[in-house]
Amino acid sequence: MIVKFDNFLNEKAQIVFPHPEDGSRVAKFKVIASPTSLNNVIRFIAASSKDLDQLNGVSKEVVLEAILTYANRQFRDINFVPIKYDDDGAGYGIKIDLEPIVKRLNK
């Protein structure tokens, strides 16, 4: 799973999301994670200005939901959740849901 996670971080994520004008659009995102981060945040940042333009007219919540769907499809054993509060960073932040992991470790 570590190799797959490294690939997840090194490849540009191609995200499809609903768009009010076209029905749907595609944008590529750089996936960035800090291995020393205490809050396990993973950021999706538009890969180029063209990709950023694709996001115009779409709410942050819609894009974030598409990113969560993408991330959760990549890993069956890991669940990702949105950062709901205090997310002033660039792009869109998600994090690993640690609750199921802690429950499994406490068995």
Report helix, strand or coil for 56. Answer: coil
The domain in which residue 72 lies consists of 2-105
What digits encode the pLDDT tens for the residues 34-48?
655 567 788 899 999
Number of domains in the chain: 1
Q: Where are the beta strands (DSSP E) in the chain?
A: 13-19, 23-33, 41-46, 80-82, 92-96
Q: If DSSP codes are grouped into helix, strand and coil, which group holds residue 68?
A: helix
What pTM value is reported for the model? 0.78
pLDDT in tens, 47-95: 999 999 998 888 888 999 999 999 888 887 788 888 876 666 678 888 8
Q: What is the CA radius of gyration of the chain?
A: 14
